[in-house]
Amino acid sequence: MRWLLILLGSLALAQPVVTPGWVRLVPPVVKDTAAYLTLENRGKTPLRLVGAETEVAERVSFHQDHREHRGGQVVLGMRPLPYLDIPPGGRVEFRPGKYHLMLEGLKRPLKAGEKVALVLRFQDGSRLKVILPVEMR
């Protein structure tokens, strides 16, 4: 298993556990991309993800996919979320079609195989750093 997580926050508050996913390699003409991972709350108190940052993008936002049917066909979109709550024992899967971390305004084109560091920020002030590989998938 590639458990590439490093805890930056206090270990006593270490409720969030991240299973790394990947940062999507998009054509260089695109200035936004998505990051995927699974975030688990192994603690006994609710966890609120309030922000994230990375050196490779201007900012990071959370989005949930939006799906509706029109004219018998599937219409897809996304909706920004100000924060994400994960109940004790719960998990949030950031994956295509569900949630994604949007890396907005890439400062440079990413390369396949490179590693991107992402820091997740929680309401209690703790931070969690995760390293994600850049992959075209």
State the residues that interact with another protein by CB under 8 A.
24, 26-34, 63, 65-66, 68, 70-80, 96-97, 100, 102-103, 136-137
Q: Which of 24, 121 has the CB closer to another protein?
A: 24
Question: In the structure encoding, which two tokens stand for residue 29, read together?
Answer: 């003409």
CB nearer to another protein: give 43 or 109: 109
Nearer to another protein, 5 or 26 (CB): 26
User: Distances from the Cα of 18 to the Cαs of 53, 69, 101, 111, in angstroms?
Assistant: 15, 33, 13, 23
- First-to-last C-alpha distance (Å) of the chain: 19
- 3 state SS of 106: strand
Question: Count of alpha carbons within 13 Å of 25, Cβ hemisphere only?
Answer: 11
Distance CA 130, CA 128 (A): 7
CA-to-CA distance for 9 and 30, rounded, in angstroms? 33
Nearer to another protein, 34 or 86 (CB): 34
